[in-house]
Amino acid sequence: MKYPSPSSAEAVISVSGLSRHFGPKRALDEVSVFIPRGSVLGLVGENGAGKTTLIKHLLGSLKALAGSVRVFGLDPVLDPVGVLGRVGYLSERRDLPCWMRVGEFIRYTQAFYPGWDATYAAQLLEQFQLDPVQKIKTLSQGQQAKTGLLAALAYRPELLILDEPSSGLDPVVRRDILEAIIRMVADEGRTVLFSSHLLDEVERVADHVVMLQQGRVVLNGRTEEVRAGHISAVLAFAQPPGAAPMLTGAHAVTGYGSEWRVLFGGSRTELVTAAARVGARVVEERTPTLDEILVARAGGKAS
Q: Which candidate, 262, 273, 266, places its Cα nearest to that of 303?
A: 262
Residue 66 touches another protein, criterion: CB under 8 A: no
**Of 79, 117, 203, 259, which lies in the binding site for another protein, with binding defined by CB under 8 A?**
79
Longest dimension (CA), the chain: 71
Within residues 92-111, the interface with another protein by CB under 8 A covers 93, 95-101, 103-104, 107-111
Q: Which candidate, 219, 294, 229, 296, places its Cα nearest to that of 41?
A: 219
CB of 245 to another protein, least distance (A): 47
Phi and psi at 132, nearest 5°, equal -60, -20
CB of 83 to another protein, least distance (A): 8
Measured CA to CA in angstroms, residue 57 lies from 195, 266, 291 at distances of 14, 32, 26
Within residues 195-234, the interface with another protein by CB under 8 A covers none
Q: How far apart are CA 70 and CA 297, in angstroms?
A: 29
Find the part of the chain contacting another protein (CB under 8 A) among 132-140, 172-180, 259-267, 294-302.
Answer: 132-140
Nearer to another protein, 141 or 303 (CB): 141
**Of 16, 61, 214, 289, which lies in the binding site for another protein, with binding defined by CB under 8 A?**
61
Nearer to another protein, 28 or 231 (CB): 28
Q: Alpha helices of 26-128 — where are they, by DSSP H?
A: 51-59, 80-84, 102-110, 118-127
Find the part of the chain contacting another protein (CB under 8 A) among 76-84, 195-203, 209-217, 260-268.
Answer: 76-84
Q: Is residue 261 helix, strand or coil? A: strand
User: How many other β-carbons are positioned within 10 Å of the β-carbon of residue 269?
Assistant: 8
Note the residues at the interface with another protein (CB under 8 A).
59-63, 77-85, 87, 89, 91, 93, 95-101, 103-104, 107-113, 132-133, 137-138
